[in-house]
């Protein structure tokens, strides 16, 4: 039996970017610590010409559901009702398996069409949807820095993950195929068949990963280690320019982040 499995997280991530650069990001997570269980949901709204706004809720609610063509997410407390639909091939990987931790990544839709309604109105654009399953306490994960991102353009998508620390990992998936990665940072993702430059970056969030969630759920804060508040996330929206070895170049939007552990 694996140690540390009293802690478990099932986390969904969604995003959508409109043609003019307005970004929507949504999270829905179920967190369990021993017998304690909580559902957390949040959204970020980052218009092209205004500051980012956010909202959290810890009210028990249903998690998103898979449909024949994608994912449906309805959160009455956040005022969100949306569909992420597409036919891009899903990606599934076990990112970590040890005696005390298991991390499974399920990228359901690396590229899709999004139609959603929220307080800001109706939004349509290009998006992405994934699910992450974690067993074991996060503060014991063998990594110190995480880089993640996704890029989408007509007919093309790229997703990348890099872990830095005791158990390093570097993964790039382009149009459904895994590619040997050469470089991953905030300015460029370079892999065997191409390079993605990240330009005109706009910071849409910077701060503690857990602070807002714990402020809305004091019971979870009492059970969690203090150092969780020291996990710092920077999240950007960038113009992406994908250059491939065959000479083709496509442009689109990228959402990417860096998380640093203490």
CA atoms of 129 and 131, how far apart (whole Å): 7
Quick one: what percent of the chain has pLDDT higher than 70?
90
Going by C-beta distance under 8 Å and a sequence separation of 6 or more, which residues neighbour residue 173?
Answer: 91, 107, 110, 158, 159, 160, 179
Please report, for the chain, the start and end positions of each structural domain, with discontinuous segments joined by +. 7-260
Strand partners, 102: 97, 135
Whole-number percent of the chain with pLDDT over 90: 69
The whole-angstrom separation of Cα 173 and Cα 246 is 18
- Give the pLDDT confidence of 251-261 residue by residue, as tens digits: 999 999 999 97
In this prediction, residue 1 carries a pLDDT of 38
Give the other-Cβ count within 10 Å of 251's Cβ: 14
Cα gap 12→102, rounded to integer Å: 17
pLDDT level of residue 61 (50, 70, 90 thresholds): confident
Instruction: Select the more confidently predicted residue: 125 or 6.
Output: 125
- The DSSP symbol for 138 reads G
pLDDT at 194: 96
More confident residue, 228 or 187: 187
Distance CA 43, CA 59 (A): 14
Question: 205-223: string of b/e by CB count within 10 Å (b at 16+)?
Answer: beeebbeebbebbeebbee
Q: Flag whether the pTM goes above 0.75.
A: yes
The DSSP bridge pattern shows strands 169-174 and 232-244 to be unpaired
Q: What angle do CA 210, 43, 29 make, to 5 degrees?
A: 55
Pairing of strands 194-208, 80-85: unpaired
pLDDT 10s digits, 104-113 = 999 999 999 9
Q: How far apart are CA 62 and CA 77, in angstroms?
A: 11
Classify residue 89 by its DSSP letter: P
């Amino acid at each position: 039996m694996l140690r540390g499995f009293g802690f478990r997280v099932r986390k969904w991530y969604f995003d959508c970017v409109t043609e003019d650069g307005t970004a929507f990001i949504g999270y829905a997570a179920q967190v369990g610590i021993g017998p304690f269980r909580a559902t957390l949901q949040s959204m970020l709204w980052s218009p092209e010409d205004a500051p980012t706004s956010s909202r959290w809720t810890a009210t028990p609610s249903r998690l998103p559901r898979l449909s024949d063509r994608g994912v449906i997410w309805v959160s009455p407390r956040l005022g969100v009702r949306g569909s992420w639909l597409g036919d891009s091939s899903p990606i599934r990987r076990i990112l970590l398996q040890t005696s005390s931790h298991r991390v499974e990544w399920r990228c359901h839709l690396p590229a899709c069409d999004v139609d959603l309604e929220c307080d800001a109105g109706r939004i349509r654009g290009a998006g992405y949807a994934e699910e992450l399953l974690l067993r074991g306490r996060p503060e014991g994960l063998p990594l110190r820095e995480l880089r993640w991102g996704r890029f989408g353009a007509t007919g093309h998508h790229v997703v990348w993950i890099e872990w830095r620390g005791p158990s390093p990992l570097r993964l790039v998936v382009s149009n459904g195929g895994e590619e040997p990665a050469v470089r991953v940072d905030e300015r460029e993702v370079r892999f065997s068949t191409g390079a993605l430059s990240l330009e005109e970056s706009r910071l849409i969030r910077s701060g503690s990963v857990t602070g807002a969630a714990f402020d809305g759920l004091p019971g979870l804060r009492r059970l969690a280690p203090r150092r969780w508040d020291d996990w710092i996330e920077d999240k950007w929206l960038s113009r992406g320019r994908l250059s491939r070895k065959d000479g083709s170049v496509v442009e689109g939007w990228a959402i990417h982040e860096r998380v640093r552990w203490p």
